[in-house]
Amino acid sequence: MDYKQAGVNIEEGYRAVGKYRDLAASTANASVLNGIGSFAGMLSIGDLIRAGKGMEEPVLVSGTDGVGTKLDIAFQLKKYDTVGIDCVAMCVNDVICHGARPLFFLDYLACGKLDADVAAELVKGVAVGCRETGSVLLGGETAEMPGFYDEGKYDIAGFSVGIVDKKNIIDGRNIKEGDVLVGAASSGPHSNGFSLIRKSLPDLHEDFGGMSLGYALLEPTRLYVKPILALLEQIGIRGMAHITGGGFYENIPRMFTAPAVFDAVIKKGSWTIPAIFARIAAGAAGLKEKGPAAREAGAKLLETDASLRKQMFNTYNMGIGFVLALKPEDSRKAIEFLDSKGFPSWEIGRVEAGNGVVRFE
């Protein structure tokens, strides 16, 4: 018995690496010192720092995450080119919360049986996410593990490393009572809550406003890096939160730094909750309706069922993927700037003295 008979196709692995090489090269810059295929990726920190405005005390900021069970929907629909964007977004959106500029990204891809074409589509999304956030795809790993993962199933995860001058780190210590909370629009559920979605919305081919529900759910996570970095050049942002797993209730308080304790007071109706969340709510409530009827019923439940509404806001971003804490006089400028960059934004609440919780009014 040889390695191929045991389930690992080395030649397919070589073919996949060949495809990765071009994708990674499309994200490279002059700081990259080698290419895909070496034992480790290398880039010059000095060149990266000098490429900016210079830093007195550079600090590296890192974040890691995966895509989760959203991948299962991609496998069912055989659409693999967007979940790599999710993988990058889930990491870089965390890194930017502390004011750091993403530098590079590495990914990890695991499967039961490697198909180089599918793997390349997954990494293609990673490369897109890297290019759109100024990150270098510095390397990665593809693991073929027959008998451990089901054939046709893949997992993908990664990590991002960014850099920020120590004096410019955003950690919430400057947040004050009376600051306003500005929320930037999400593109949908992003990459969270899909275990519930998969259980409650089994028909991925259901019509959803002219497209399949499955395709709507695969809309990739928004990349907030470029507009937030640009906004930081214009105003002082006091705190930031990436709304991921745990929704509003778990993520917004993460921007507050102890020992100062605040509450985030969210204004109901300050933005329109996208229809995809009404559809998820209907499914989570066990309603059998589909299409527009399900969305209408779900929207009513979000207004009338306090328990379901809290569950949804504790699981999903509900249309707000990123939250900023700002001085009141900076709110309008931030909203207009983000709107101009294609990121619709709203003043969704305020900061009050409290116990580190989220309250709705």
Q: pTM of the entire structure?
A: 0.93
Single-letter code of the amino acid located at 39: F
The per-residue b/e assignment along 4-41, b for 16 or more CB within 10 angstroms, e otherwise, is eeeebbeebbebbbebbeebbeebbeebbeeebeeeeb
Tokens of 144: 């073929």
Single-letter code of the amino acid located at 254: R
Q: pLDDT truncated to tens, each residue of the chain (361 aa)?
A: 655 655 666 677 767 777 788 777 888 888 888 877 778 888 888 777 776 667 888 899 999 999 999 999 999 999 999 999 999 999 999 999 999 999 999 999 999 999 999 999 999 999 999 999 999 999 999 998 988 888 888 999 999 999 999 999 999 999 999 999 999 999 999 999 999 999 999 999 999 999 999 999 999 999 999 999 999 999 999 999 999 999 999 999 999 987 768 999 999 999 999 999 999 999 999 999 999 999 999 999 999 999 999 999 999 999 999 999 999 999 999 999 999 999 999 999 999 999 889 999 9
**CB contact at 8 A, 93 and 227:** no
Could you identify the residue written with the tokens 């497209």?
211
What size, in residues, is the chain? 361
> What pLDDT sits at residue 9?
67
> What pLDDT sits at residue 25?
83
> What pLDDT sits at residue 10?
67
Q: CA 64 to CA 261: how far, in whole Å?
A: 27
Q: CA 29 to CA 48: how far, in whole Å?
A: 9
